[in-house]
Amino acid sequence: MVDGDLARLANLYGIALEYVDQAGDRQIISKQTVVAVLSALGVSATTPEDIASSIVQRELRDWRRVLPPVCVQRQSEVGQVKVHVPRGQEPRLRIITETEQELPAVRVDVDGPIRTVADVVVSEITFEIPSGLPTGWHELQATFDGGTAQAPVVVVPDRMPEVEREWGPMIQLYSMRSAGSWGMGDLADLADLATAAGTDWGAGFVLVNPMHAPGVVAPVEPSPYLPATRRFFSPLYLRVQHIVEYEQLAAAERRRVDALFERVRKLNDSPELLDRDELWSAKLSALEIIWAKGMSPERESEFRAFVGREGVGLQDFALWCALSEVHGSDWHEWPEPLRNVRSADVTAEFAELEDRVLFFSWLQWQLDLQFTETQAAARSAGMPIGIMHDLAVGVHSEGSDSWSLRDFLVGDVAVGAPPDMYNQLGQTWSQPPWHPDALAEAAYIPYRDMLREILRHSGGLRVDHILGLYRQWWIPEGMKPYQGTYVAMDYDAMVGILMLEASRVGAMLIGEDLGTVAEWIREDMHDRGILGVGVLWFQRDGGAISVPEEWRADELLSVTVHDLPPTAGYISGEHITVRSDLQLLARAVADEWSDHATELADWRALLADRGLFREGDSISDEVVALYALAAASPARLLGVNLPDLTGDSRIQNQPGTEREYPNWSVPLGDAAGDPILLQDLVGHPLANRIVRALRDGR
């Protein structure tokens, strides 16, 4: 057990010394883990002398500066800011709002504490920032005898607006192909699905997988939850023929693009796993042909305006893409001078690769245009929410963000999860976490800019593993997932800024709160009007299935999710078979099957009591019955997993695996695994039965 000064130091950095697991048992964190996490944060704790020195440095941190790097407060609350100036000086504070309104900050103490810092006696004076300020990014200015200081004041909403009851499909877009796809689903397919789901089914939203950009060099990372960047989007989702300049190609150039399309178009009908490398090769070549054609002066002006709006963030990402083509996808293996995004060598490379940098910037502009069209199509189809995006937990350690934002991320640790219902051995996601102190020092601007990008075309945002905005499970390099610990984030800032940026564009928020989540976090989400996530299979109270009418109202409820098999696969025990084959079970396989049989018997008894299930019903009948049961719940949002609409039973993602299982590569199929195209989805008999059950129940 960690105690004494090491425990004190760990507490100063928000490092948990114990936690309560999903089963309710108390787990103690080892000293080795605590020291390793401190080391990753740049804090020495190997000897008693190191620990004592690190405590002093941490406690003096705020005394060495006049203002904190940023102040975040809820709109209805009175904020407090502690100002540090040489003793005897009288600072004056004022707030300048986004609309240039000036307001004073009022001193609330007479004699605050003092400390000696570098032979200077420093006073701590507390000021109040008034409540009722407009939400937004304002500026706090301090004037004193020694000069001036500034810090952002971020005023965030108290609560998100209430969400009306809606339902909609939850899709992995890449898996949903059409006759016009380039071998995988794209933004045109998403617009068509939204149009059909809104007009024919009465759906209120489409929840799509994370659309973040992977690397541009093969092999293309298949996981949408392990992107190169979370700020920018994957050009794999572009519909080439919808680019304006495609229509303006000369006949010979058009034939070249069309030939590339025909090369991959035949893959739409293939039951084989998706081949992103082949698809990206064809689409990239087609996009290069269109780029080489050039643009009209008007379009060129619009493109330049987009580049100017996106600023350094887009330039860094596009430059990383261009450098990857030359030096490989892992920036850690680039020549040493190129590993620093602001080095002179990187600037020189930019001059050499400028046209390629502009090309990758142009791809993001095309994505921006097509996302705009997609959300417009959803709204035109009557969807109140429209397209709901998904925000991944983090980024690939070799990717763009880990290169350009390396000062704000922590190396030598990976984000993951402790043992839980998804994986009995815990999970590591191989992603570097935000550095809590570095992010605060940057006033959360990198985080804010990322949110603004993804929210611009969103009617809603699902935040995967929202626990990470409160605390994250950090696994030191070389350790197993279960040997990690939780590290606290400033959740008032992280969650508050998320709410602010969502409210500015009218988007609603969902936080995926499955797994090991402390109850106080769910209570905080509820107080802020952020919906949680519910899965039908987990609706138990003390072991018994709870009554559907008593399930949580403030949530997105679904029968299953992408980390579980589709409902038909869950019923048939696909999750047990796969985990057993991959040796991911911590219990005897016979015990797993026994518990599964008991679980299904419980659900079938409940369904039978409500007249939804009879002995001898097919798996499809049972799937429809489970959705009818879910529709009886008070959940504000009800999601339908896309494979459930076609009877597909194959797992899309098996947690705890990387290459052992073909995660994120299974195309949409029917019960036999035969391909189902978008054109056949809306009229599919099982889909129509599920939609009727939902509409009748809602």
Q: Which parts of the chain register pLDDT below 70?
A: 421-422
How many angstroms separate the CA atoms of 209 and 204, rounded? 17
3-class SS shares of the chain: helix, strand, coil, % to 5: 45, 20, 40
Consecutive H or E run containing 19? strand 18-20
Query: Can you read off the two tokens belonging to residue 677?
Result: 């195209």
Q: What sign for the dihedral angle of Cα 611, 612, 618, 619? A: negative
pLDDT at 422: 62
Whole-model pTM: value is 0.96
DSSP secondary structure of 353-392: THHHHHHHHHHHHHHHHHHHHHHHHHHHTT-SSEEEEEE-
pLDDT (tens digit, 9 = 90+) per residue, 244-274? 999 999 999 999 999 999 999 999 999 999 9
Look up residue 108 and give its DSSP letter: -
Cα distances (Å, whole numbers) of residue 560 to 593, 631, 640: 19, 14, 8
pLDDT score for 561: 96
pLDDT score, position 158: 98
Q: Does domain 76-156 have CATH number 3.40.50.300?
A: no
Measured CA to CA, the distance from residue 215 to residue 238 in angstroms comes to 15
Q: Is 128 helix (H, G, I), strand (E, B) or coil?
A: strand
Instruction: Name 68's Cβ contacts closer than 8 Å, sequence gap at least 6.
Output: 62, 81, 82, 151
Backbone angles phi, psi at 148, to 5 degrees: -135, 160
Burial class of residue 3 in the structure, from the number of CB atoms within 10 Å of its CB (0-12 exposed, 13-18 middle, 19+ buried): exposed
Q: What is the reported pLDDT for 420?
A: 77
Hey, where are the domains in the chain? 4-60, 76-156
* Cβ–Cβ < 8 Å for 429, 515: no
